[in-house]
Homo-oligomer: A and B are copies of this chain.
Amino acid sequence: MNLKNLSDLLGLSQTTVSRALNDYPEVSEKTRQKVLKAARDNNYSANPTARNLATGRSGAIGHVIPFGTHKMINPHFSDFIAGVGSTYSKIGLDIVMSISDSNSEMESYKRLAQSRRVDGFVLHGPLVNDERIKMLRELQLPFVAHGRCFGIENSDQETDYSWLDVDNLGAFDQATTYLLDLGHKNIALLNGLEHMNFAYLRRRGFERAMERANIKTNPTFMISSDMTEFYGYKAAIELLSTKRSRRPSAILTASRIIAEGVQRAIKDCSLKTPSDISLMTYDDELGFLPNNEYNSDITCMRSSIYQAGIRVGQMIGELLISPEKNPICELWMPKLVEGKSTGSVPKN
């Protein structure tokens, strides 16, 4: 069943039928109802490919996922994509996903854009000074970055394109301050890879708080790596296996997954939170790794990456309808949630 069949069936022109279905004002209410009913009865829905060809719109958003080092294809990604996906299904968009290694990443964007296969993009995991931003701007398609590419001082850059980000700098400043207020001076930071903007900002937030408190940061306490459980475990084991006076009294991790490893290490060292050591983490509220009074209960800075996905989906949806709204920028402040993993510095 296609448009021609349907209009023949109704004794109307394709024009009128098409307009009736697309809510154009110049079709009378009576015929619109007739058309709508016929469409329903005959289980008709417009062929998106043909529509795409005619309009130039595809009804799909491109998600180019950098592969290579498992950087983005990780649990955070699944929760985020669940969020955007649920918005998309509400507003009738599809995801066109292209997994590509960093070499072909730019190509993928261009191919998807040039072929008009997508109407816009969501940029995942912005890096510090991300060249993709420039490229995306040149592609002339709306896009929303999940995260920003620049720190707080480049505020002119921030309003240049649409993004949704959490205040990583503020959050890690606050987390660090929280630990400092408990009396901790030797705080370790287990961060993500710092060429990623979020991780870069988290370190900056950490440093800012330390600086404000006039405490010199210890380079060996600031570690940066891919965010796996094992990284957390290994790093923590190393930190904790030195003699007490030289080890951190608090560990701040950039993700719940790292924190898992740290917890394991703490137990393996026969230590306990918060009496022996304090642990604090950033918590994306990953679906499969809850963190609340019933389980881990790690003190954290919390912001739902799933909700971020939902909102990013809405944002790109808005941009498709009203491109003039660009840029839409939102900075979310994670909230501090006190758990049982932090306390004052253990007295020697």
Contacts and interface: CB of A to CB of B under 8 A. Distances in A.
Interface of A: 45, 47-50, 52-53, 58, 60, 65, 67, 70, 73-75, 77-79, 81-82, 84-86, 88-89, 94-101, 104, 108, 111-112, 114-117, 227-230, 233-234, 257, 260, 263-264, 267, 287-290, 294-295
A88 B100 CA distance: 9
Contacts of A295: 229-230, 233-234
A96 to B, nearest CB: 5
A267 B273 CA distance: 13
Nearest to A104: B89
Contact of A60 (B85, B96, B294): B96
B74 A287 contact: yes
Contacts of A101: 89
A260 B229 contact: yes
A277 to B, nearest CB: 15
Given A89-B100, A230-B290, A290-B230, A73 B81 contact: yes
14 contacts: A45-B111, A47-B53, A60-B96, A65-B82, A67-B82, A73-B287, A75-B75, A95-B98, A229-B260, A229-B295, A230-B295, A264-B264, A264-B267, A267-B267
Contacts of A228: 287-290
Given A85-B98, A96-B94, A74 B78 contact: yes
Contact of A116 (B47, B86, B260): B47
A22 to B, nearest CB: 16
A47 B234 CA distance: 49
A70 B114 CA distance: 34
B82 A99 contact: yes
Contacts of A84: 99
A135 B81 CA distance: 26
A70 B82 contact: yes
A101 B282 CA distance: 29
Contacts of A95: 95-99
Nearest to A108: B89
Contact of A78 (B77, B112, B263, B289): B77
Contacts of A53: 47, 49-50, 53
A73 B74 CA distance: 11
A289 B258 CA distance: 10
A295 B229 CA distance: 9
Contacts of A288: 70, 74-75, 227-229, 257
Among all A-B residue pairs, the 10 with the closest Cβ atoms: A85-B99, A73-B82, A95-B97, A70-B287, A78-B78, A75-B75, A48-B115, A230-B295, A228-B288, A267-B267
A101 to B, nearest CB: 8
Nearest to A47: B115
A304 to B, nearest CB: 13
Nearest to A1: B114
